[in-house]
Homo-oligomer: A and B are copies of this chain.
Amino acid sequence: MKSTTSPHSCQDSSLTSYIMRLLYSLVIALSLSTWLAASDIPLTLNLMPIPAKVQSGSGQLVIDPTFTAASTGARDARLDGGIARLLDDLSRQTGMPLTVRPSDAAHATLTIRAQSAGRKVQELGEDESYTLEINASHASLTAPTALGALHGLQTFLQLVAPTPAGFAVPVVTINDQPRFSWRGLLIDVGRHFIPLEIMKRNLDGMAAMKMNVLHLHLSDNEGFRVESKRFPKLQEGSEGQYYMQAEVRELVTYARDRGIRLMPELEMPGHSRAIVVGYPELASEPGPYKAGRIAQAEPALDVTQEKTYKFLDKLIGEMVQLFPDAYLHIGGDEVDDKPWDSNPKIQEFIHARGMKNNRDLQAYFNQRLQKIVAKHGKIMMGWDEVLHPDLPKTVVVQSWRGQESLAAAARQGYRGLLSYGYYLDLIWPAARYYAVDPMSGGAASLTPEEQQRILGGEACMWSEYVTAETIDSRIWPRLAAIAERLWSPQNVTDPKSMYQRMNEVSWRLGWLGLTHESNYLPMLRRLAGREDIAALRVLADVVEPTKDYTRTEVWPQAPVKTTPLNRLADAARPESRDAREFSELVNTYLQNDQQKSDVEEQIRFFLMAWHDNDAALQPLLDQSLLLAEDKPLSEDLSALAAAGLQALDALDKSQSLPDQWRTEQLAVVKRSNAPRANLLLMVAPAIQKLIEAASPRR
Interface residues of A (CB under 8 A from B): 1-3, 5, 7-10, 12, 15, 18-20, 22-24, 26-30, 32, 34-35, 37-38, 41, 43, 64-66, 92-97, 161-167, 469, 503-504, 506-507, 510-511, 517-518, 521-522, 525-535, 537-538, 555, 557-559, 562, 564-567, 570, 604-605, 607-609, 611-613, 616, 622-628, 635-636, 638-639, 641-643, 645-646, 648-649, 652, 664, 667-668
Contacts and interface: CB of A to CB of B under 8 A. Distances in A.
Contacts of A43: 623
B7 A164 contact: no
A12 B15 contact: yes
A532 B507 CA distance: 10
Question: Chain B CB within 10 Å — which of A528, A555, A613 has the most?
Answer: A555
A8 B523 CA distance: 34
Contacts of A15: 10, 12, 15, 19
B531 A625 contact: no
Q: How many copies does the complex hold?
A: 2
Given A30-B534, A609-B23, A648-B9, A164 B623 contact: yes
A623 B534 contact: no
Nearest to A607: B7
Nearest to A556: B166
25 contacts: A1-B635, A1-B664, A1-B668, A5-B642, A9-B645, A9-B649, A9-B652, A10-B15, A19-B19, A23-B26, A23-B608, A23-B609, A24-B612, A27-B609, A28-B609, A41-B531, A94-B564, A95-B564, A95-B570, A164-B623, A164-B625, A166-B625, A166-B626, A167-B625, A510-B522
B627 A535 contact: no
Contact of A97 (B94, B163, B538, B562): B562
A22 B38 CA distance: 23
Nearest to A625: B166
A511 B522 contact: yes
Contacts of A557: 64-65, 166
B24 A23 contact: no
B95 A529 contact: no
Contacts of A608: 7, 20, 23-24, 27
A537 B65 contact: no
A314 to B, nearest CB: 33
B162 A529 contact: yes
B626 A162 contact: yes
A638 B5 CA distance: 13
A537 B636 CA distance: 32
Contacts of A667: 1
A63 B22 CA distance: 44
A34 B628 CA distance: 23
